[in-house]
């Protein structure tokens, strides 16, 4: 007989704090972070990946400033508010005028979508607090709402803006730059009020995925406190290890029974799949809350975060920047000032990947003051590769899993002819987007990326551009019994024989012989006209 308890109500897809509390959904208490923020007048910005709990935290702030004491019963903030009010000499649970703008609910395919969203927000507020006839533009009306709200209530106003950058993120792709620029102009004028309206404001909290430097929200509001990389708020969103073990014991047990795993093994699998997000050095690493809740609800370990949305802007920027994708595997180094540079620049896609949750801090070198970044977990790694492969091959995302499994078996068996035929099939009609024939360097890199992504998706220990004393190999793949060393050439610049000779001459393989495995050298030449493998040669070396 099962010892697993009856399922509890999990807030899957529910981001309204008041609803979660009133309907007795399971809630992980994050109200201590509210206490850290609300004591004094403050203006804050928080960047976290999508579906990471930003909206729920914003809703928690809203309930607090609306004085909804009943929602906080038995939570940290319950006793804190009473004690703080006594210390401050005020009544607890004071009610403030709260303005809440959620920009997450539209697809923003045209300017009218953003204008409609802002107009609806203002109309709703104006019905409560009034509007002057001379107020016409969004910025004039917003300023008027702040002033009227303050005058009518004699309380400074609370402004909460959720996912401010949603319109910008949806229009980062090539061909719609004009729409992105229009959105920037609209947001620039609208957010400028948050600086001029400071006398009417008690508290401002804004969330988003990234901090776009060209929006005046950040260039004008020098008093805006960005807590995204603040160690004290590293766990404000997401689920910590302690919170997981304390709050979800029945769900972990139920998932383990479904997956036929012991309790500790279930924890290990959850950690491997959904943990690993670290947003600041010295902070607390967290699990993806969206994936955790869905895994518990469905009793199934799947890539829920990626299934909820395809990262099209990420694929676009990596392609546009000609970024060498295999380096994302724990091979990215950057200083904190660069990570804090939120400009979305195709020449440097790493900051946006970090803020969007596709990369995280893996380690820190105090001597060089550099951070090493990599994939946070398997869900992100394999989900991103699955979405990137179609951009570097002719493989459909729905066929990735089946193709890779067959490929994996051939690689482990050492059947070079068979898996090279698979690679040839995969590279057939490889897309180039807008790249010209003159860009030989990028064409060769695309071939390398396509091959390396296949190996990385297999979950193997794959290294690329591996340095040795005399040079570096294009790709090194480790299996249980075999190590493969690849060198890629374009037919116009070298033959397969020359590629194989280069591996031997540079002695890329010598350090690997000590591992006691068979080493296979593979020299490959690609026909850039036919966009596929022209020839390959292999040489097997035994240690």
Contact status, residue 516 vs residue 481, Cβ threshold 8 Å: no
- pLDDT tens across 430-446, in order? 555 444 554 555 666 77
If you average pLDDT over residues 408-427, what whole number do you get? 90
What pLDDT was estimated at residue 121?
98
What distance in Å separates the CA atoms of residue 421 and residue 257, rounded to the nearest whole number?
41
Q: What is the DSSP letter of 349?
A: -
What pLDDT was estimated at residue 307?
79
- pLDDT tens across 7-20, in order? 789 999 899 999 99
Could you tell me whether strands 532-541 and 518-527 are parallel, antiparallel, or unpaired per DSSP bridges? antiparallel
pLDDT-derived band at 467, boundaries 50, 70, 90: low
pLDDT-derived band at 164, boundaries 50, 70, 90: very high
What distance in Å separates the CA atoms of residue 3 and residue 1, rounded to the nearest whole number?
7
Quote the tokens at residue 99: 């303005």
Cβ neighbour number for residue 2 with a 10 Å cutoff: 7
Contacts for 535-538: CB closer than 8 Å, 24+ residues apart:
535/495, 535/496, 536/420, 536/496, 537/496, 537/497, 537/499, 537/500, 538/416, 538/500
| Half-sphere exposure in the Cβ direction for 62 (13 Å, CA) | 21
Angle between helices 440-457 and 400-413 (to 10 degrees): 80
Between CA 29 and CA 37, with CA 33 as vertex, the angle to 5 degrees is 150
The total number of residues written for the chain in this structure? 543
What pLDDT was estimated at residue 203?
97
The more confident residue out of 310 and 107 is: 107
Residue 101 has pLDDT above 70, yes or no: yes
Q: What is the mean pLDDT of the chain?
A: 88
If you average pLDDT over residues 122-143, what whole number do you get? 96
pLDDT-derived band at 202, boundaries 50, 70, 90: very high
For the chain, the straight-line distance linking the first and the last C-alpha, in angstroms and rounded, comes to: 54
Residue 466 has pLDDT above 70, yes or no: no
Q: What is the DSSP letter of 410?
A: H
The percentage of the chain sitting over the pLDDT mark of 70, rounded to a whole number, equals 90
What pLDDT was estimated at residue 451?
81
Residue 38 has pLDDT above 70, yes or no: yes
What pLDDT was estimated at residue 197?
78
- pLDDT tens across 247-273, in order? 999 999 999 999 999 999 999 999 999
Is the pTM value of this prediction over 0.75? yes
The more confident residue out of 197 and 130 is: 130
If you average pLDDT over residues 406-418, what whole number do you get? 92
Nearest to 103 by CA among 213, 28, 186, 18: 186
The percentage of the chain sitting over the pLDDT mark of 90, rounded to a whole number, equals 59
Residue 1 has pLDDT above 50, yes or no: no
pLDDT-derived band at 71, boundaries 50, 70, 90: very high
What distance in Å separates the CA atoms of residue 80 and residue 34, rounded to the nearest whole number?
10
If you average pLDDT over residues 293-305, what whole number do you get? 95
What pLDDT was estimated at residue 218?
65
| Half-sphere exposure in the Cβ direction for 358 (13 Å, CA) | 28
Quote the tokens at residue 469: 């004393």
Q: Which residue has the tokens 């999990």?
A: 10
Give the lowest-confidence range in 186-195, 342-351, 378-387, 403-412: 342-351
Quote the tokens at residue 84: 């703080």
Could you tell me whether strands 482-490 and 518-527 are parallel, antiparallel, or unpaired per DSSP bridges? parallel
Contact status, residue 29 vs residue 75, Cβ threshold 8 Å: yes
What distance in Å separates the CA atoms of residue 116 and residue 478, rounded to the nearest whole number?
55
What pLDDT was estimated at residue 431?
52
What pLDDT was estimated at residue 198?
84
Residue 353 has pLDDT above 80, yes or no: yes
pLDDT-derived band at 468, boundaries 50, 70, 90: low
Contacts for 531-536: CB closer than 8 Å, 24+ residues apart:
531/427, 531/428, 531/429, 531/430, 531/432, 532/424, 532/427, 532/428, 532/430, 533/420, 533/423, 533/424, 533/427, 534/491, 534/496, 535/495, 535/496, 536/420, 536/496
Contact status, residue 416 vs residue 482, Cβ threshold 8 Å: no
What pLDDT was estimated at residue 434?
46
Distances from the Cα of 199 to the Cα of 44, 131, 151, 189, 255, angstroms: 16, 19, 11, 18, 52
What pLDDT was estimated at residue 533?
87
Quote the tokens at residue 371: 């951070």
If you average pLDDT over residues 167-186, what whole number do you get? 87
pLDDT-derived band at 464, boundaries 50, 70, 90: low
Residue 456 has pLDDT above 90, yes or no: no
Nearest to 5 by CA among 317, 360, 254, 185: 254
What pLDDT was estimated at residue 418?
95
Question: What are the φ/ψ torsions at residue 264 (nearest 5 degrees)?
Answer: -65, -35
What pLDDT was estimated at residue 444?
63
What distance in Å separates the CA atoms of residue 325 and residue 376, rounded to the nearest whole number?
15
Q: What is the DSSP letter of 209?
A: S
Q: How far is CA 481 from the centre of its chain?
A: 35
Contact status, residue 285 vs residue 278, Cβ threshold 8 Å: yes
Between CA 198 and CA 200, with CA 199 as vertex, the angle to 5 degrees is 90
What pLDDT was estimated at residue 439?
55
What distance in Å separates the CA atoms of residue 249 and residue 5, rounded to the nearest whole number?
10
If you average pLDDT over residues 200-220, what whole number do you get? 80
Residue 140 has pLDDT above 70, yes or no: yes
Residues 6+ apart with CB under 8 A from 433: 319
């Amino acid at each position: 007989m099962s010892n697993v308890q009856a399922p509890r109500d999990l807030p899957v897809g529910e981001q309204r704090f008041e609803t979660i509390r009133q309907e007795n959904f399971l809630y992980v208490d994050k109200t201590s972070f509210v206490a850290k923020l609300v004591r004094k007048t403050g203006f804050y910005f928080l960047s976290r990946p999508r579906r990471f709990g930003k909206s729920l935290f914003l809703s928690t702030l809203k309930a607090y400033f609306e004085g909804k004491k009943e929602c906080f019963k038995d939570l940290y903030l319950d006793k804190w508010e009473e004690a703080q009010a006594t210390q401050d000499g005020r009544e607890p649970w004071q009610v403030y005028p709260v303005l809440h703008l959620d920009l997450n609910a539209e697809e923003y395919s045209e300017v009218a979508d953003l204008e409609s969203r802002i107009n609806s927000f203002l109309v709703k507020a104006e019905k409560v607090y009034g509007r002057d006839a001379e107020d016409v533009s969004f910025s004039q009306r917003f300023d008027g709402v702040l002033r009227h709200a303050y005058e009518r209530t004699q309380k400074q106003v609370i402004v909460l803006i959720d996912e401010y950058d949603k319109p910008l993120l949806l229009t980062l792709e090539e061909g719609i730059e004009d729409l992105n620029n229009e959105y920037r102009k609209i947001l620039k004028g609208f957010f400028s009020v948050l600086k001029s309206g400071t006398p009417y404001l008690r508290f401002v909290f804004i969330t988003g995925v990234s901090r776009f430097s060209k929006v005046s929200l950040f260039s004008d509001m020098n008093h805006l406190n960005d807590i995204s990389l603040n160690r004290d708020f590293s766990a404000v969103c997401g689920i910590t290890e302690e919170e997981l073990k304390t709050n979800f014991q029945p769900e972990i047990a139920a998932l383990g029974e479904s997956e036929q795993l012991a309790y500790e093994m279930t924890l290990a699998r959850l950690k491997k799949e959904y943990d690993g997000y670290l947003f600041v050095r010295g902070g607390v690493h967290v699990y993806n809350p969206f994936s955790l809740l869905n895994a518990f609800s469905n009793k199934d370990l799947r890539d829920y975060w990626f299934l909820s949305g395809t990262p099209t802007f990420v694929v676009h920027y990596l392609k546009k920047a000609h970024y060498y994708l295999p380096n994302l595997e724990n091979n990215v180094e950057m200083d904190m000032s660069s990570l804090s540079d939120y400009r979305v620049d195709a020449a440097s896609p790493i900051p946006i990947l970090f803020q969007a949750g596709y990369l995280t801090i893996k380690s820190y070198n105090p001597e060089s003051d550099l951070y090493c970044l990599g994939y946070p977990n398997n869900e992100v790694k394999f989900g991103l590769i699955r979405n990137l492969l179609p951009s570097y091959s002719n493989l459909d995302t729905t066929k990735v899993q089946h193709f890779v499994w067959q490929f994996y078996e051939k690689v482990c068996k050492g059947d070079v002819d068979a898996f090279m035929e698979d690679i040839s099939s995969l590279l057939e009609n490889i897309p180039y987007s807008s790249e010209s024939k003159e860009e030989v360097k990028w064409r060769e890199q695309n071939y390398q990326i396509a091959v390396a992504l296949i190996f990385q998706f297999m979950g193997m220990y794959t290294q690329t551009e591996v340095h040795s004393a005399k040079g570096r190999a294009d790709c090194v793949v480790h299996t249980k019994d075999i190590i493969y060393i690849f060198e890629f050439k374009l037919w116009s610049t070298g033959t397969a024989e020359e590629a194989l000779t280069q591996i031997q001459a540079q002695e890329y393989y010598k350090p690997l012989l000590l591992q006691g495995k068979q080493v296979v050298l593979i020299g490959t030449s690609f026909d850039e006209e036919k966009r596929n493998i022209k020839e390959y040669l292999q040489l097997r070396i035994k240690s």
